[in-house]
Amino acid sequence: MSTQSEKSTKSTAPLWKYVTKLEKASGGVGNVTFRCNYCEKTFKGSYSRVKAHMLKLPNFGIQACAKVGDEYLNEMQKLEDAYEESMRRPMKPKLVSLPTDSASSPDLGPSEDSLITRTFYSAGLPFHFAKNPYWIEMIKFAANNNNLVGYVPPGYNKLRTNLLHKERAQIEKLLKSIKDTWKEKSLSIVSDRLTDSQKRPLINFMVTSEKESIFIKSINGIKEYKDKHFIADLFLKVIGEVKHQHVVQIITDNAFVMKVVGSIVEAEYPHIFWSPCVVHTLNLALRNICAPKNSLQNEVAYNECNSIAQVADEATFIHIFITNHSMRLAIFNSYSPLKLLVVAETRFASIITMLKRLFQVK
């Protein structure tokens, strides 16, 4: 039986109008039998399968609609994007009257600290936000300025439009002194690929020069096939933004596709050369040295350096032994003020971080 929220979602989700709901299926929460209004095929499932069918999304266990052309597909995608954005938009908060902490003077409102703490708690702000220097200066300014009587802070739309553009213009003005040095000192473009907490594959671009480093942009490649042509095109666009005559090199990881990207950039701009990340190169070398001996060529290096891999395996075992058992973890926490770090296996010094913390709590 569907919950009220699920019914509400089905009634407002935009792609339902492109299918015809038939009788309800007997199994599965919220599942219905529906017929596509374009290809006229019948399927069973929830709204996620309707979306996958109409927008031709893979890995949802449903066939993509062959009758939906690009024009209709773009229209449906815009409707779905707008719907998802509206679902992410937070509800308008309201002020709830709470009892004051002054029993002797009930007419007095809550203290200044109470208003600030309630702001943190109601919005779910992290406590370390209180260390933000701009937040501290804002509170000081409001407390010491008598001209703020009747002042109303900027609203949602103003913050995300006019004030955002104004702040960006101010940042660009501050960065101008750094960009002015590019003509004389030249620059390097550094790029890194990562996956954020929402599992989105991001590609970051930074510019580094003799004076300072500047973040340029971050590309979300979730709907892209990240081959050599796609990544090379991104690099060429960034090179165009910072002016190709200022660029001397691009720096990436040592993956094969990035080597090819470097060759494409070098062919387009002969004065720009590709450099692999030194840290990544050393990590790959260390991994190869510590790998099990699978050839006579690696036997000497493995015999000399495999103790590194053994230490790493033992540290991982200790970490799992403690953290996966509540009683052992409780004993550990009673003696150590520091926590054992849970470090994801990445290419860059994750085992070093774990060993360092293990040494600190020894």
Q: Bigger pLDDT: 89 or 185?
A: 185
> What is the rounded average pLDDT of the residues 338-362?
77
Provide the pLDDT confidence category of residue 12 given band limits of 50, 70 and 90: confident
Q: The pTM is what?
A: 0.55
Highest mean pLDDT range out of 138-152, 170-184, 192-206, 260-274?
260-274
Q: How far apart are CA 189 and CA 206, in angstroms?
A: 6
For residue 308, name the pLDDT band (cuts at 50, 70, 90).
confident
d(CA 362, CA 359): 5
| CB proximity list for 57: less than 8 A, separation 6 or greater | 51, 64
**Contact between 274 and 259 (Cβ < 8 Å):** yes
- The domain ranges of the chain are 4-88, 112-148, 178-276, 306-360
Average pLDDT, rounded, for the chain: 82
Is 90 exceeded by the pLDDT of residue 5? no
What tens digit of pLDDT does each residue of 14-73 get? Answer: 888 888 888 665 544 568 888 999 998 998 888 888 888 999 888 788 888 988 888 888
pLDDT at 1: 36
Binning pLDDT at 50, 70 and 90, where does residue 167 land?
very high
In this structure, the number of other CB atoms found within 10 A of the CB of residue 99 comes to 8
What does CATH list as the number for 178-276? 3.30.420.60
Question: What's the distance, CA 49 to chain centroid?
Answer: 26
Helices (H), the chain: 4-12, 47-55, 70-88, 112-123, 133-144, 156-160, 162-179, 182-185, 228-242, 256-268, 278-289, 296-323, 326-335, 350-360
pLDDT higher than 90, residue 8: no
pLDDT exceeds 90 at position 123: no
pLDDT tens, residue by residue, 284-299: 777 776 666 555 566 7
pLDDT confidence of 91, banded at 50, 70, 90? low
Q: Is the pLDDT of residue 264 over 90?
A: yes
For the cut 80, the answer to whether the pLDDT of residue 88 exceeds it is: no
Residue in the structure block whose two tokens are 């060993």: 355
Q: What is the DSSP letter of 295?
A: S
- Which residues make beta-bridge pairs with 151? none
**C-alpha–C-alpha distance, residues 207 and 191, integer Å:** 9
Q: How far is Cα 29 from Cα 125, in angstroms, rounded to an integer?
A: 34
Rg of the chain (C-alpha set): 28
Q: Is residue 346 over pLDDT 60?
A: no
Rounded to an integer, what distance in angstroms lies between the CA atom of residue 120 and that of residue 133?
16
Residue type, 194: L
pLDDT at 110 over 70: no
